Amino acid sequence: MNSRETSIKRAEELGLYNLPYEEARKNIVTGTGGAFREWYSVQKEKIMSMLGATDDDWDNWIWQFRNRTDDLDFLCEVLALSDKEREEINKVAEKYRWAITPYYLALINPLDPNDPIRRLSVPSAAELEGTGQTDPMDEEHTNPAGVITRRYPDRLIINVTNACAMFCRHCQRRRGIGGYDTDSGAQLIMESVQYIRENPEIRDVLITGGDPLTLRNGFLEDLLSELREIRHVEIIRIGTRTIVTMPQRISWDLVEMLKKYHPIYVNTQFNHPQEMTREAITACNRLANAGIPVGNQMVLLRGVNDDKYTVRLLNHELLKARVRPYYIFHAKQVIGTGHFTTSVDTGIDIMEHLRGHTSGMAIPTYIVNAPKGGGKTPILPQYMLDRDENSVTFRTWEGKEFVYPNH
Protein backbone atom coordinates (compact mmCIF):
# COMPACT_ATOMS: atom_id res chain seq x y z
CA MET A 1 0.00 0.00 0.00
CA ASN A 2 1.50 3.39 -0.94
CA SER A 3 1.45 6.37 1.42
CA ARG A 4 -1.64 7.96 -0.18
CA GLU A 5 -3.57 4.70 0.10
CA THR A 6 -2.49 4.34 3.73
CA SER A 7 -3.61 7.93 4.44
CA ILE A 8 -7.00 7.36 2.83
CA LYS A 9 -7.53 4.19 4.84
CA ARG A 10 -6.62 6.01 8.08
CA ALA A 11 -8.85 8.99 7.19
CA GLU A 12 -11.79 6.62 6.64
CA GLU A 13 -11.09 4.92 9.95
CA LEU A 14 -11.06 8.32 11.71
CA GLY A 15 -14.29 9.39 10.00
CA LEU A 16 -16.03 6.34 11.43
CA TYR A 17 -15.34 7.56 14.98
CA ASN A 18 -17.67 10.48 14.30
CA LEU A 19 -20.73 8.47 13.31
CA PRO A 20 -22.22 7.82 16.78
CA TYR A 21 -21.95 11.55 17.61
CA GLU A 22 -23.48 12.59 14.28
CA GLU A 23 -26.36 10.22 14.94
CA ALA A 24 -26.84 11.29 18.59
CA ARG A 25 -26.76 15.04 17.90
CA LYS A 26 -29.85 14.73 15.69
CA ASN A 27 -31.84 14.21 18.88
CA ILE A 28 -30.23 16.98 20.96
CA VAL A 29 -32.12 20.27 20.90
CA THR A 30 -30.08 23.41 20.25
CA GLY A 31 -31.30 26.97 20.72
CA THR A 32 -30.93 27.66 17.01
CA GLY A 33 -32.63 24.49 15.77
CA GLY A 34 -35.93 24.56 13.86
CA ALA A 35 -37.99 22.66 16.45
CA PHE A 36 -36.80 24.96 19.22
CA ARG A 37 -37.50 28.17 17.28
CA GLU A 38 -41.09 26.99 16.72
CA TRP A 39 -42.03 26.57 20.35
CA TYR A 40 -39.89 29.50 21.45
CA SER A 41 -41.77 31.95 19.22
CA VAL A 42 -45.16 30.58 20.37
CA GLN A 43 -44.17 30.77 24.05
CA LYS A 44 -42.62 34.20 23.64
CA GLU A 45 -45.82 35.57 22.06
CA LYS A 46 -47.92 33.97 24.79
CA ILE A 47 -45.80 35.41 27.61
CA MET A 48 -45.62 38.86 26.00
CA SER A 49 -49.38 38.95 25.58
CA MET A 50 -49.95 37.85 29.21
CA LEU A 51 -47.60 40.63 30.38
CA GLY A 52 -48.83 43.24 27.87
CA ALA A 53 -45.24 43.63 26.58
CA THR A 54 -43.83 44.99 23.34
CA ASP A 55 -40.79 43.72 21.41
CA ASP A 56 -38.82 46.64 22.81
CA ASP A 57 -39.75 45.54 26.33
CA TRP A 58 -38.61 41.99 25.57
CA ASP A 59 -35.24 43.23 24.35
CA ASN A 60 -34.73 45.43 27.42
CA TRP A 61 -32.90 43.79 30.34
CA ILE A 62 -34.52 46.01 32.94
CA TRP A 63 -37.96 44.90 31.73
CA GLN A 64 -36.81 41.26 31.77
CA PHE A 65 -35.40 41.62 35.28
CA ARG A 66 -38.45 43.44 36.67
CA ASN A 67 -40.70 40.81 35.16
CA ARG A 68 -38.90 37.78 36.57
CA THR A 69 -41.83 35.64 37.49
CA ASP A 70 -42.31 34.05 40.87
CA ASP A 71 -46.06 33.90 40.35
CA LEU A 72 -47.29 30.32 40.45
CA ASP A 73 -50.53 31.02 38.55
CA PHE A 74 -48.55 32.64 35.76
CA LEU A 75 -46.07 29.74 35.59
CA CYS A 76 -48.87 27.14 35.59
CA GLU A 77 -50.61 28.90 32.74
CA VAL A 78 -47.46 29.31 30.59
CA LEU A 79 -46.39 25.69 31.03
CA ALA A 80 -49.87 24.13 31.47
CA LEU A 81 -48.77 22.48 34.73
CA SER A 82 -50.94 19.93 36.55
CA ASP A 83 -52.48 20.47 40.01
CA LYS A 84 -49.92 18.05 41.43
CA GLU A 85 -47.02 20.03 39.96
CA ARG A 86 -48.56 23.26 41.28
CA GLU A 87 -48.78 21.82 44.77
CA GLU A 88 -45.16 20.60 44.64
CA ILE A 89 -43.84 23.98 43.53
CA ASN A 90 -45.83 25.66 46.27
CA LYS A 91 -44.19 23.42 48.89
CA VAL A 92 -40.68 23.96 47.52
CA ALA A 93 -41.26 27.73 47.44
CA GLU A 94 -41.78 27.71 51.22
CA LYS A 95 -38.14 26.67 51.55
CA TYR A 96 -36.32 27.90 48.45
CA ARG A 97 -36.91 31.04 46.42
CA TRP A 98 -37.60 30.73 42.69
CA ALA A 99 -37.84 33.25 39.85
CA ILE A 100 -37.47 32.96 36.07
CA THR A 101 -37.07 35.69 33.44
CA PRO A 102 -39.73 35.80 30.72
CA TYR A 103 -36.97 35.06 28.17
CA TYR A 104 -35.68 31.93 29.95
CA LEU A 105 -39.23 30.70 30.59
CA ALA A 106 -39.89 30.83 26.84
CA LEU A 107 -36.98 28.44 26.22
CA ILE A 108 -38.89 25.57 27.88
CA ASN A 109 -40.72 23.13 25.61
CA PRO A 110 -44.10 23.02 27.40
CA LEU A 111 -44.83 19.58 25.97
CA ASP A 112 -41.72 17.92 27.39
CA PRO A 113 -41.77 17.17 31.14
CA ASN A 114 -38.06 16.28 30.91
CA ASP A 115 -37.04 19.46 29.13
CA PRO A 116 -33.54 20.41 30.40
CA ILE A 117 -34.41 24.10 30.78
CA ARG A 118 -37.41 23.14 32.90
CA ARG A 119 -35.19 21.04 35.15
CA LEU A 120 -32.80 23.97 35.52
CA SER A 121 -35.44 26.58 36.32
CA VAL A 122 -38.74 25.14 37.64
CA PRO A 123 -38.77 23.97 41.28
CA SER A 124 -39.19 20.22 41.77
CA ALA A 125 -40.31 18.16 44.77
CA ALA A 126 -36.90 16.43 44.65
CA GLU A 127 -35.41 19.59 46.20
CA LEU A 128 -37.07 18.67 49.48
CA GLU A 129 -35.50 15.19 49.53
CA GLY A 130 -32.01 13.92 50.13
CA THR A 131 -29.09 15.12 52.14
CA GLY A 132 -26.25 17.58 51.61
CA GLN A 133 -24.74 20.63 53.24
CA THR A 134 -25.69 24.27 53.09
CA ASP A 135 -22.04 25.39 52.77
CA PRO A 136 -19.86 22.50 51.53
CA MET A 137 -17.16 24.97 50.45
CA ASP A 138 -16.97 26.41 53.96
CA GLU A 139 -17.19 29.91 52.49
CA GLU A 140 -18.17 31.23 55.87
CA HIS A 141 -14.57 30.61 57.03
CA THR A 142 -12.86 32.09 53.95
CA ASN A 143 -14.11 35.66 54.40
CA PRO A 144 -11.21 37.78 55.71
CA ALA A 145 -12.93 41.15 55.09
CA GLY A 146 -16.03 42.81 53.63
CA VAL A 147 -17.74 40.51 51.15
CA ILE A 148 -14.57 38.74 50.04
CA THR A 149 -14.08 35.01 49.64
CA ARG A 150 -10.40 34.07 49.56
CA ARG A 151 -9.24 30.50 48.93
CA TYR A 152 -6.08 30.96 46.85
CA PRO A 153 -2.71 32.74 47.16
CA ASP A 154 -3.08 35.40 44.45
CA ARG A 155 -6.80 35.85 43.75
CA LEU A 156 -10.12 36.34 45.47
CA ILE A 157 -13.84 36.88 44.99
CA ILE A 158 -16.01 39.90 45.82
CA ASN A 159 -19.68 38.96 46.30
CA VAL A 160 -21.60 42.10 45.36
CA THR A 161 -25.24 40.95 45.47
CA ASN A 162 -27.42 37.93 46.16
CA ALA A 163 -29.76 38.69 43.22
CA CYS A 164 -29.84 36.59 40.06
CA ALA A 165 -31.88 36.88 36.87
CA MET A 166 -33.05 33.31 37.47
CA PHE A 167 -32.63 31.18 40.56
CA CYS A 168 -31.11 28.01 39.15
CA ARG A 169 -32.51 24.91 40.80
CA HIS A 170 -29.02 23.38 40.96
CA CYS A 171 -27.45 26.51 42.47
CA GLN A 172 -24.32 25.59 44.40
CA ARG A 173 -24.60 28.78 46.46
CA ARG A 174 -28.27 28.63 47.30
CA ARG A 175 -27.62 29.42 50.94
CA GLY A 176 -26.82 32.99 49.80
CA ILE A 177 -30.02 33.54 47.84
CA GLY A 178 -32.20 34.25 50.87
CA GLY A 179 -35.75 35.55 50.62
CA TYR A 180 -35.27 38.85 48.81
CA ASP A 181 -32.74 40.70 46.61
CA THR A 182 -30.10 42.67 48.41
CA ASP A 183 -26.81 44.14 47.23
CA SER A 184 -23.81 44.04 49.53
CA GLY A 185 -23.92 47.76 50.29
CA ALA A 186 -21.28 50.46 49.79
CA GLN A 187 -19.58 49.94 53.15
CA LEU A 188 -18.87 46.21 52.74
CA ILE A 189 -17.75 46.72 49.17
CA MET A 190 -15.36 49.51 50.16
CA GLU A 191 -14.00 47.30 52.98
CA SER A 192 -13.36 44.63 50.34
CA VAL A 193 -11.59 47.09 48.04
CA GLN A 194 -9.48 48.28 50.96
CA TYR A 195 -8.46 44.67 51.75
CA ILE A 196 -7.31 44.23 48.14
CA ARG A 197 -5.41 47.52 48.30
CA GLU A 198 -3.57 46.31 51.42
CA ASN A 199 -2.67 42.88 49.99
CA PRO A 200 -0.31 43.36 47.05
CA GLU A 201 -0.21 39.65 46.17
CA ILE A 202 -3.81 39.86 44.89
CA ARG A 203 -3.48 40.12 41.12
CA ASP A 204 -6.84 38.70 40.03
CA VAL A 205 -10.27 39.77 41.32
CA LEU A 206 -13.51 37.96 40.47
CA ILE A 207 -16.69 40.00 40.88
CA THR A 208 -19.60 37.66 41.50
CA GLY A 209 -22.67 37.14 43.72
CA GLY A 210 -25.44 36.16 43.06
CA ASP A 211 -25.04 37.76 39.69
CA PRO A 212 -23.28 41.14 39.47
CA LEU A 213 -24.90 41.92 36.13
CA THR A 214 -28.26 42.29 37.87
CA LEU A 215 -26.81 45.58 39.13
CA ARG A 216 -26.88 48.81 37.15
CA ASN A 217 -23.90 49.92 35.04
CA GLY A 218 -23.19 52.88 37.36
CA PHE A 219 -22.74 50.61 40.39
CA LEU A 220 -20.44 48.27 38.46
CA GLU A 221 -18.44 51.12 37.00
CA ASP A 222 -17.78 52.61 40.44
CA LEU A 223 -16.37 49.28 41.59
CA LEU A 224 -14.35 48.67 38.41
CA SER A 225 -12.78 52.11 38.55
CA GLU A 226 -11.81 51.61 42.22
CA LEU A 227 -10.19 48.27 41.38
CA ARG A 228 -8.39 49.66 38.34
CA GLU A 229 -6.75 52.28 40.57
CA ILE A 230 -4.98 49.46 42.42
CA ARG A 231 -1.71 48.84 40.60
CA HIS A 232 -1.28 45.19 41.60
CA VAL A 233 -4.75 44.15 40.32
CA GLU A 234 -3.80 42.78 36.91
CA ILE A 235 -7.05 41.26 35.75
CA ILE A 236 -10.71 41.59 36.69
CA ARG A 237 -13.19 38.84 36.06
CA ILE A 238 -16.97 38.99 36.16
CA GLY A 239 -18.99 35.85 36.90
CA THR A 240 -22.44 36.08 35.36
CA ARG A 241 -25.17 33.79 34.13
CA THR A 242 -27.16 36.64 32.58
CA ILE A 243 -25.68 35.79 29.16
CA VAL A 244 -27.67 32.55 29.47
CA THR A 245 -30.76 33.55 31.44
CA MET A 246 -31.17 37.22 30.42
CA PRO A 247 -28.89 37.88 27.41
CA GLN A 248 -30.52 41.28 26.90
CA ARG A 249 -28.26 42.42 29.76
CA ILE A 250 -25.25 42.40 27.43
CA SER A 251 -26.22 45.75 25.93
CA TRP A 252 -24.01 48.11 23.91
CA ASP A 253 -23.87 50.45 26.92
CA LEU A 254 -22.57 47.67 29.13
CA VAL A 255 -19.80 46.51 26.81
CA GLU A 256 -18.74 50.09 26.07
CA MET A 257 -18.41 50.67 29.81
CA LEU A 258 -16.61 47.35 30.53
CA LYS A 259 -14.00 47.78 27.85
CA LYS A 260 -12.71 50.94 29.54
CA TYR A 261 -11.40 48.70 32.35
CA HIS A 262 -9.48 46.07 30.41
CA PRO A 263 -8.20 43.42 30.90
CA ILE A 264 -11.71 42.21 31.78
CA TYR A 265 -12.72 38.57 31.47
CA VAL A 266 -16.21 37.10 31.81
CA ASN A 267 -17.08 33.62 33.03
CA THR A 268 -20.53 32.24 32.44
CA GLN A 269 -22.42 28.98 32.75
CA PHE A 270 -24.12 27.40 29.75
CA ASN A 271 -25.25 23.91 30.70
CA HIS A 272 -27.09 22.69 27.60
CA PRO A 273 -27.04 23.44 23.84
CA GLN A 274 -30.72 24.49 24.14
CA GLU A 275 -29.46 27.60 25.94
CA MET A 276 -27.38 28.60 22.89
CA THR A 277 -30.08 30.74 21.29
CA ARG A 278 -29.66 33.57 18.79
CA GLU A 279 -30.06 36.04 21.66
CA ALA A 280 -27.39 34.34 23.78
CA ILE A 281 -25.03 34.08 20.80
CA THR A 282 -25.49 37.81 20.12
CA ALA A 283 -24.55 38.52 23.75
CA CYS A 284 -21.40 36.34 23.44
CA ASN A 285 -20.43 38.06 20.19
CA ARG A 286 -20.85 41.51 21.72
CA LEU A 287 -18.46 40.63 24.51
CA ALA A 288 -15.95 39.03 22.12
CA ASN A 289 -16.11 42.07 19.80
CA ALA A 290 -15.33 44.29 22.80
CA GLY A 291 -12.19 42.20 23.43
CA ILE A 292 -13.66 40.48 26.49
CA PRO A 293 -12.80 36.76 26.53
CA VAL A 294 -15.72 34.62 27.73
CA GLY A 295 -15.15 31.24 29.41
CA ASN A 296 -17.82 28.67 30.16
CA GLN A 297 -18.08 26.86 33.49
CA MET A 298 -20.60 24.08 32.93
CA VAL A 299 -21.95 22.23 35.93
CA LEU A 300 -22.35 18.50 35.36
CA LEU A 301 -26.03 17.83 36.12
CA ARG A 302 -28.02 14.61 36.07
CA GLY A 303 -30.87 14.72 33.56
CA VAL A 304 -29.48 17.88 31.92
CA ASN A 305 -26.02 17.28 30.49
CA ASP A 306 -24.71 13.98 31.94
CA ASP A 307 -24.26 12.70 28.42
CA LYS A 308 -21.05 12.79 26.38
CA TYR A 309 -22.69 13.82 23.13
CA THR A 310 -24.63 16.66 24.75
CA VAL A 311 -21.43 18.04 26.30
CA ARG A 312 -19.54 17.70 23.02
CA LEU A 313 -22.26 19.51 21.09
CA LEU A 314 -22.48 22.24 23.75
CA ASN A 315 -18.73 22.81 23.53
CA HIS A 316 -18.86 23.05 19.74
CA GLU A 317 -21.73 25.55 19.92
CA LEU A 318 -19.78 27.58 22.50
CA LEU A 319 -16.69 27.76 20.31
CA LYS A 320 -18.83 28.93 17.38
CA ALA A 321 -19.95 31.82 19.62
CA ARG A 322 -16.28 32.49 20.60
CA VAL A 323 -16.76 31.16 24.13
CA ARG A 324 -14.02 28.91 25.48
CA PRO A 325 -15.22 25.77 27.31
CA TYR A 326 -13.22 26.30 30.48
CA TYR A 327 -14.42 24.07 33.30
CA ILE A 328 -16.84 21.23 33.89
CA PHE A 329 -17.66 21.39 37.58
CA HIS A 330 -18.73 18.28 39.39
CA ALA A 331 -21.89 19.26 41.32
CA LYS A 332 -21.16 19.75 45.01
CA GLN A 333 -23.12 18.10 47.80
CA VAL A 334 -25.41 21.10 48.35
CA ILE A 335 -28.64 20.49 50.20
CA GLY A 336 -31.70 20.58 47.92
CA THR A 337 -29.70 19.75 44.79
CA GLY A 338 -28.89 16.05 45.33
CA HIS A 339 -31.14 14.99 42.44
CA PHE A 340 -28.70 16.69 40.04
CA THR A 341 -25.56 14.97 41.34
CA THR A 342 -23.82 12.42 39.13
CA SER A 343 -21.02 10.01 39.94
CA VAL A 344 -17.44 11.15 39.31
CA ASP A 345 -17.24 8.19 36.88
CA THR A 346 -19.81 9.97 34.69
CA GLY A 347 -17.56 13.01 34.48
CA ILE A 348 -14.49 10.89 33.71
CA ASP A 349 -16.38 9.04 30.95
CA ILE A 350 -17.33 12.37 29.37
CA MET A 351 -13.71 13.57 29.47
CA GLU A 352 -12.54 10.25 28.01
CA HIS A 353 -14.98 10.72 25.16
CA LEU A 354 -13.89 14.29 24.40
CA ARG A 355 -10.13 13.76 24.20
CA GLY A 356 -9.14 12.86 20.64
CA HIS A 357 -12.71 12.99 19.38
CA THR A 358 -12.73 16.78 19.31
CA SER A 359 -10.15 19.56 19.33
CA GLY A 360 -8.35 20.51 22.53
CA MET A 361 -10.15 23.88 22.45
CA ALA A 362 -13.42 22.02 23.01
CA ILE A 363 -12.10 20.17 26.06
CA PRO A 364 -12.59 21.92 29.40
CA THR A 365 -10.96 20.83 32.65
CA TYR A 366 -13.15 18.58 34.80
CA ILE A 367 -13.03 19.83 38.39
CA VAL A 368 -14.08 18.35 41.69
CA ASN A 369 -14.08 20.98 44.42
CA ALA A 370 -12.33 19.60 47.47
CA PRO A 371 -14.58 19.77 50.56
CA LYS A 372 -14.19 22.60 53.08
CA GLY A 373 -12.80 25.03 50.51
CA GLY A 374 -9.79 22.81 49.77
CA GLY A 375 -9.71 24.09 46.21
CA LYS A 376 -10.42 23.01 42.65
CA THR A 377 -8.97 19.62 41.87
CA PRO A 378 -8.66 18.53 38.22
CA ILE A 379 -9.75 14.96 37.51
CA LEU A 380 -8.59 13.19 34.36
CA PRO A 381 -9.00 9.75 32.84
CA GLN A 382 -5.79 7.80 33.44
CA TYR A 383 -3.50 8.01 30.40
CA MET A 384 -0.24 7.17 32.14
CA LEU A 385 -0.16 3.43 32.80
CA ASP A 386 3.29 3.06 34.32
CA ARG A 387 6.33 5.19 35.17
CA ASP A 388 9.84 4.62 36.44
CA GLU A 389 13.10 6.55 36.18
CA ASN A 390 13.78 5.19 32.70
CA SER A 391 10.44 5.21 30.94
CA VAL A 392 6.75 6.04 31.02
CA THR A 393 4.04 3.84 29.55
CA PHE A 394 0.94 5.63 28.40
CA ARG A 395 -2.10 5.04 26.25
CA THR A 396 -3.56 7.30 23.56
CA TRP A 397 -7.20 8.35 23.17
CA GLU A 398 -7.65 5.28 20.95
CA GLY A 399 -6.24 2.99 23.62
CA LYS A 400 -2.90 2.32 21.86
CA GLU A 401 -0.04 1.80 24.33
CA PHE A 402 3.40 3.40 24.02
CA VAL A 403 6.58 3.38 26.03
CA TYR A 404 8.44 6.70 26.08
CA PRO A 405 11.86 7.56 27.52
CA ASN A 406 11.77 9.42 30.85
CA HIS A 407 15.05 11.30 30.69
Q: How far is it, in rounded angstroms, from Cα 344 to Cα 352?
A: 12
Handedness of CA 21, 23, 24, 27 (dihedral sign): positive
Contact with ligand SF4 (CB under 6 A) among 171, 196, 280, 300: 171
Secondary structure of the chain: what % helix, strand, coil (to 5)?
Answer: 45, 15, 35
Contact with ligand SF4 (CB under 6 A) among 106, 158, 164, 193: 164
Using CB atoms within 10 Å of the CB of residue 57, give its burial: 0 to 12 exposed, 13 to 18 middle, 19+ buried.
middle
Contact with ligand SF4 (CB under 6 A) among 183, 211, 306, 317: 211
Is residue 173 involved in binding ligand SF4 (CB under 6 A)? yes
Is residue 241 involved in binding ligand SF4 (CB under 6 A)? yes
CA distances from 66 to 70, 77, 246 (A): 11, 19, 11
Is residue 280 involved in binding ligand SF4 (CB under 6 A)? no
Q: Which of residues 324-363 bind ligand SF4 (CB under 6 A)?
A: none
Toward ligand SF4, which CB reaches closer, 211 or 279?
211
CB neighbours (10 Å) of residue 265? Answer: 18
Is residue 168 involved in binding ligand SF4 (CB under 6 A)? yes
How near is the Cβ of 1 to ligand SF4 at its closest, in Å? 54
| Closest to 246 (Cα-Cα) out of 165, 167, 307 | 165
Binding region for ligand SF4 (CB under 6 A) out of 122-130, 167-175, 375-383, 390-398:
167-175
What three-state secondary structure class fits 35? Answer: helix
Toward ligand SF4, which CB reaches closer, 39 or 270?
270
Toward ligand SF4, which CB reaches closer, 241 or 308?
241
Q: How far is it, in rounded angstroms, from Cα 60 to Cα 379?
A: 41
Q: Phi and psi at residue 217, in whole multiples of 5°? A: -55, -40
Toward ligand SF4, which CB reaches closer, 175 or 286?
175
Toward ligand SF4, which CB reaches closer, 137 or 233?
137
Contact with ligand SF4 (CB under 6 A) among 136, 210, 247, 295: 210
Toward ligand SF4, which CB reaches closer, 157 or 281?
157
Q: How far is it, in rounded angstroms, from Cα 38 to Cα 106?
A: 11
Toward ligand SF4, which CB reaches closer, 249 or 308?
249
User: Residue numbers of the site for ligand SF4 (CB under 6 A)?
Assistant: 164, 167-168, 171, 173, 210-211, 241
